[in-house]
Amino acid sequence: MTPLEITLLALVGLLALGVPIFMSLAIAAAAALMTNDLLPISILHNTLFDGLNIFPLLAIPCFVVAGTLMEYGNITHQIVDVVKQMVGRMYGGLGITTIVACTFFAAISGSGPGTVAAVGTILIPAMLRNGYSKEYAAAAASSGGTIGILIPPSNPMIIYAIIGNLSVTAMFTAGFIPGFIVSAAMIATAFLLAKRSGFKGDESAPPFAWRHFCASCRKCAFALATPVVILGSIYTGYATPVEASVVAIIWALFVGIVINRALKWEHVVKALLEGAMVCGAVLLIVGTSTLFGKILTYEEAPQRLANLVLGFSDSPEVVLLLIIALLYVLGMFMETLSTIIILVPVLLPMIIKLGIDPIHFGIILVVTNNVAMLTPPLGVNLFVASRITNLSVERTSVAVLPYLAALTICILLFTFCPAISTWLPYTLGYGQ
């Protein structure tokens, strides 16, 4: 057997046995090295270190810490209060508020499950108190949380940019227009479902008035300025994405302690622990995937896959549709970062060979992974929302089907209209 066959068979077998992703990657790579003279065994520790010694990875735990601090520092509550004034009295007003708040919070946390937890813990109980069904509340929160990995800053975009040797800022910029389109599709879906079921808005909320709205915006000005401070520091050139993640922490501490006076020392400790746990999980997967990817490269796996796919079709659209179908299936069983880390080294050379813009492909990859967050058995957003609502994952999975249909329509739109993803980064000069 060739090293490639040994590696792939070992990986599939280990994953089927339920071995964690990082261990499966490490054991599969080690098996190929120990049974062949492909590379010296010393490549194990050298490559693991190289995979961990990547500066942009620091942005991920920092954004997680910032998002957690903002949740404890009452910033999330203030954002929800302002958004509720705009749409709270509409049909499905609280569901729409959930999605709009998730869109806003996505520009802070960069995490899908984190967005569901931060916004859902506030608005799901409010929906239930106002007569909304558990299914509607869980579906709105879990679907709105998918926007967390599309609108920058986005942890999957950071990983994709690192692996694909692309600009993180270019990927962040590319996510804006698709992110708002997905958000609009989610809002429309929430409104139609609420109108069909007769779920009205928050009738206790006062009618919209510009005077009260402007007063709320002034009161919550520091909370509302959070995305502007974080993303503005990146796009004005004052900070790299990693530096901006540290700016986010400093801003969260300032607003939570000085302005809102809600952040306590124990909250800071919890946020640091959360960031450390996410950092540890990401580094384990990135390090072992770097080793796995090196073996695939030496065995020319990307070239073999490209020849196989091109033998079937050389149409970029057809190839993208095949990849999307593959991601729909893999997303049911693999976590988002794991999917990106394993597939990008194999797929990206083929994508470039077909003339597909890697930024365009990155957006499709990230949006398709939104679907993975809503499909069992591994749909992480479903588990977070079902825990908050005390609803079974099975019933939550059925409730999100209309949102999955809306997401699929968005994915097809981005696939056949690449300018939606590429126009902004190239216009602003961030594209490569």
Residue 63, amino acid = F
Neighbours of 107 (CB within 10 A): 20
Query: Tokens for 423?
Result: 């126009």
Neighbours of 245 (CB within 10 A): 27
Q: How confident is the model at residue 401, as a pLDDT?
A: 92
- Residues recorded for the chain: 432
For 88, 189, 223, 259, 385, the CA distances from 96, given in Å and listed in that order, are 8, 9, 20, 28, 16
3-state DSSP of 287-351: HHHHHHHHHHHHCCHHHHHHHHHHHHCCCHHHHHHHHHHHHHHHCCCCCHHHHHHHHHHHHHHHH
Whose structure tokens read 């692309």? 166
Measured in whole angstroms, how far is the alpha carbon of residue 175 from the centre of its chain? 11
Under 8 Å between Cβ of 187 and 100: yes
pTM, 2 dp = 0.76
Measured in whole angstroms, how far is the alpha carbon of residue 278 from the centre of its chain? 14
Q: How confident is the model at residue 413, as a pLDDT?
A: 95
* Nearest in space to 78 (alpha carbons), one of 341, 298, 279, 259: 259
Under 8 Å between Cβ of 58 and 242: yes
Burial degree of 254 (CB within 10 A; 0-12, 13-18, 19+): middle
Under 8 Å between Cβ of 359 and 171: yes
Q: How confident is the model at residue 395, as a pLDDT?
A: 87
* Nearest in space to 99 (alpha carbons), one of 154, 172, 151, 155: 151
Q: How confident is the model at residue 239, as a pLDDT?
A: 82
Under 8 Å between Cβ of 424 and 176: yes
Whose structure tokens read 């729909």? 328
User: Which stretches does DSSP call E strand in 356-429?
Assistant: none
Q: How confident is the model at residue 354, as a pLDDT?
A: 85
Q: How confident is the model at residue 281, as a pLDDT?
A: 67
Query: Tokens for 389?
Result: 């609502």
pLDDT in tens, the chain (432 residues): 777 778 778 888 887 887 877 788 788 888 877 777 766 766 766 767 766 666 666 777 777 788 778 878 887 777 777 777 776 566 767 788 888 877 777 666 666 676 777 777 777 887 887 788 889 888 988 888 788 778 877 778 888 988 888 888 899 889 889 988 998 999 999 989 988 887 776 666 666 677 777 887 888 888 888 878 887 887 787 887 778 888 888 998 998 898 888 888 888 888 888 777 767 766 777 777 777 777 777 777 766 766 776 677 778 888 899 888 888 877 776 667 777 877 888 888 888 888 899 999 999 998 888 787 788 766 777 877 887 788 887 888 889 999 999 999 999 999 999 999 999 998 887 765
Q: How confident is the model at residue 85, as a pLDDT?
A: 73
Rounded CA separation 46/209 (Å): 62
Q: How confident is the model at residue 414, as a pLDDT?
A: 94
* 71: helix, strand or coil: helix
* Nearest in space to 370 (alpha carbons), one of 234, 183, 92: 183
* Nearest in space to 170 (alpha carbons), one of 248, 240, 114: 240
